């Protein structure tokens, strides 16, 4: 078989190129990007910028020059004390929190005023309610609440002799009782 050379023409399935455009038309389409920012050297030619703009409202001072505030070159005569970092205290247990809340003199004073029948201000009443809620939550978590809220269990009914004998003979009930005790 004879070797055939590749052609540069794509034929029907080849890549389609954009038609040629004259150079004059190309420049108009692309165009130069508009410049952004200040012109170079504008910091040094401030007077020329003022004349060119014609505005008197232009700032007299360029912000890029920095601060003109004088800086002291000597060391300060007074030495400030270094910050003392307090060591972290261990977290209080619930018992310690409860004792701390109960020993609070403000709480005791407000409770005494309530017992005497005096009215408290709104801020004092809100603070007192918050403190009493905290104390109640701590007492619940420690299990120090009064027994009034817990339901009492009724004792088991007495079984007859025949029922006790049947229960003894069946070992399944004993296993359940043993598991319930743990």
Tens place of pLDDT per residue across the chain (182 aa): 678 887 777 777 777 777 787 877 776 555 566 777 776 766 667 777 677 766 555 456 667 778 888 888 888 787 777 788 888 878 888 888 888 888 999 999 999 998 998 888 899 999 999 999 999 998 888 887 765 555 555 455 677 888 877 877 777 666 777 777 76
The pTM of the full predicted model, rounded to 2 decimals, is: 0.35
Which pLDDT score is estimated for 80?
77
Contact 147, 114 (CB under 8 A): no
Which pLDDT score is estimated for 169?
75
Which pLDDT score is estimated for 55?
57
Contact 167, 173 (CB under 8 A): yes
Q: In whole angstroms, what separates CA 123 from the centre of its chain?
A: 29
Say which DSSP state 40 is in. Answer: T
């Amino acid at each position: 078989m004879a070797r055939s050379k590749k052609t540069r023409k794509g034929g029907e399935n080849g890549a389609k190129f954009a038609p040629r455009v004259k150079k004059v038309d190309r420049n108009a389409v692309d165009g130069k990007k508009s410049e952004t920012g200040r012109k170079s050297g504008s910091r040094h030619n401030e007077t020329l910028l003022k004349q060119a703009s014609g505005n008197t409202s232009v700032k007299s001072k360029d912000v890029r020059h920095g601060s003109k505030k004088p800086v002291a070159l000597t060391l300060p005569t007074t030495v400030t004390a270094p910050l003392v970092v307090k060591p972290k205290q261990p977290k209080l247990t619930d018992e310690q929190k409860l004792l701390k809340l109960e020993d609070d003199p403000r709480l005791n004073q407000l409770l005494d005023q309530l017992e005497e029948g005096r009215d408290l201000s709104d801020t004092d009443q809100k603070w007192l309610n918050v403190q009493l809620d905290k104390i109640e939550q701590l007492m619940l978590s420690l299990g120090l609440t009064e027994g009034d809220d817990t339901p009492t269990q009724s004792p088991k009914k007495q079984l007859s002799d025949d029922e006790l004998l049947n229960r003894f003979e069946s070992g399944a009930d004993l296993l359940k009782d043993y598991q319930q005790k743990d």
